[in-house]
Amino acid sequence: MCLNQDLQDLRIYRIMVFDLLSESRFARFKRVKIKNLLFIIFLILFTAVFSPQVLAEEKAPHWSYGGAANPTKWSQISTEFAMCELGRDQSPINIDDAVQGTPINIEFNYKPTPLSVVNNGHTVQVNYKSGSTININGEKYELLQFHFHTPSEHTISGKASALELHLVHRNGKGQLAVVGVMMAKGTTNPLIEQIWKHIPAAGKNNIVQNSTISAANLLPKNKAYFSYTGSLTTPPCSESVKWNVLAEPIQVSEEQIEAFQNLYQVNARPVQPINGRRIEFHG
Binding-site ranges for Zn ion (CB under 5 A): 166
- Number of residues in the chain: 283
Residues 6+ apart with CB under 8 A from 157: 94, 95, 96
**242 neighbors 177 (Cβ within 8 angstroms):** yes
Bridge-based pairing of strands 204-213 and 113-119 is: antiparallel
* Comparison of 166 and 282: residue with beta carbon closer to Zn ion: 166
**235 neighbors 220 (Cβ within 8 angstroms):** no
* Comparison of 166 and 242: residue with beta carbon closer to Zn ion: 166
Q: CA-CA distance, 251 to 148, in Å (whole number)?
A: 14
Among the listed residues 212, 223, 213, 218, the one whose alpha carbon sits nearest the alpha carbon of residue 247: 223
Shortest spacing between CB 147 and Zn ion, in angstroms: 6
Shortest spacing between CB 264 and Zn ion, in angstroms: 12
Shortest spacing between CB 157 and Zn ion, in angstroms: 21
Shortest spacing between CB 120 and Zn ion, in angstroms: 11
* Comparison of 149 and 282: residue with beta carbon closer to Zn ion: 149
* Comparison of 184 and 211: residue with beta carbon closer to Zn ion: 184
Shortest spacing between CB 91 and Zn ion, in angstroms: 9
**116 neighbors 127 (Cβ within 8 angstroms):** yes
Bridge partners, residue 229, by sequence: 242
Q: What is the identity of the amino acid at 2?
A: C
Shortest spacing between CB 195 and Zn ion, in angstroms: 15
Torsional sign, CA 82, 65, 250, 263: positive
Look at residue 37 and give its three-state secondary structure.
helix
Shortest spacing between CB 45 and Zn ion, in angstroms: 38
Cα 185 to Cα 40, 149, 161, 182: the distances in Å are 55, 14, 8, 10
Shortest spacing between CB 215 and Zn ion, in angstroms: 14
**267 neighbors 123 (Cβ within 8 angstroms):** yes
What is the DSSP annotation of 232-268? Answer: -SSTT--EEEEEEEESSPEEE-HHHHHHHHHH-S---
**121 neighbors 62 (Cβ within 8 angstroms):** no
